[in-house]
Amino acid sequence: MQLPLKRRTRNEILTHIALIFVVLVVMSPVLFALAKSTQTRAEVYRFPPMLGPGTAGLFNYRAVWNQFDLGIFMKNTLIVAGIVMFFKTLFSMLAGLGLVYFDFPLKDFVFYFILFTLMMPTEIMIVALFKLVSELGWGDSYAALTVPFLASATGVFLFRQHFSSIPADLADAARVDGAGPVRFLWSILVPMSWNTIAALALIQFIYMWNQYIWPLVVIRENARQLIQVGLRGLTNQQDTTNWGFVMAAAILAMLPPMIVFILLHEQFTKGFALGREK
């Protein structure tokens, strides 16, 4: 339905105003954190609160990076998230290949075996998982932080769904050409799966980067701690807490997943088949 031009521009301006307002409200905690991350201790405690940038920006960021081990936490988390992203994508892709392009007995059983793990978040079995990992002698290690997360139903089903939507003749053609399933996966499926790969990589990176309860329980040594629990450590000295430091750490901790999200969010939407069908 066409509205008169005047009313349309008025509506558009109102929508812009409403959107700017909403964006500011949603972003305000982060803008506040950003401003405070540049303030000295005295500026942070000033009354009424000082909302603009302060004079300690570089100093705060350098201090948390070096003195408060944030650099180490970020590096550890990057390694752990990288390992999980790589192997989970690989294993999920292989499992998808097995489920879509082969017939074998017990296929239904395997399908449900994987499906049921959707009901088993780490938090639910944290006591028993901690016991298992300790018995394996993996306490305080990268193995404890990575190995239990190298497979997931989400990943397998994403690839299974995507592979099923690829025309079946392609696999026939590959077989006629004498290509085995591994060649087929590498030279045909992978190039056709970048959106799915990106979508899985994105949710895995954010999931691993933001993990909290598991590293809190399983890692004791600061040298191997991950970023979220490291952030917790900064707030634990209530009275002496330098909030400028804490906010600088919070800003640094949110940057990597945010950058990955902004880079990949379109592939994410396509990979989950959320976008408009093309």
Q: Per CB under 8 A, which of residues 56..85 are in contact with other proteins?
A: none
List the one residue from 26, 108, 178, 237 that touches other proteins (CB under 8 A): 26
* DSSP state, residue 1: -
List the one residue from 61, 73, 157, 245 that touches other proteins (CB under 8 A): 157
C-alpha span between 245 and 109 (Å, rounded): 52
Preceding peptide of 257 cis, ω within 30° = no
List the one residue from 72, 79, 147, 192 that touches other proteins (CB under 8 A): 147
Distance of CA 159 to the CA centre of its chain: 18
Subset of residues 207 to 236 that bind other proteins, contact rule: CB under 8 A: 207, 209-210, 212-213, 216-217, 228-229, 231-232, 234-235
Distance of CA 50 to the CA centre of its chain: 33
* Residue 188 is a binding residue for other proteins (CB under 8 A): no
Least distance in angstroms from the C-beta of 166 to other proteins: 8
Residue at 136: amino acid letter:
L
**Residue linked to tokens 């030279």:** 187
Phi, psi for 121 (deg, rounded to 5): -65, 150
Least distance in angstroms from the C-beta of 77 to other proteins: 11
Binding mask 257-276 for other proteins (x = CB under 8 A): xx-xxx--x---x--x-xxx
List the one residue from 127, 177, 191, 240 that touches other proteins (CB under 8 A): 127
Q: 144 vs 134, 151, 201, 211, 229, CA distance in Å?
A: 9, 14, 20, 13, 15
* Residue 5 is a binding residue for other proteins (CB under 8 A): no
Preceding peptide of 215 cis, ω within 30° = no
User: Using CA of residue 150, residue 152, residue 158, residue 164, what is the dihedral sign?
Assistant: positive
How many residues bind to other proteins according to rule CB under 8 A? 108
* Residue 175 is a binding residue for other proteins (CB under 8 A): yes
Subset of residues 85 to 124 that bind other proteins, contact rule: CB under 8 A: 87, 91-92, 94-95, 97-104, 107, 110, 113-114, 117-124
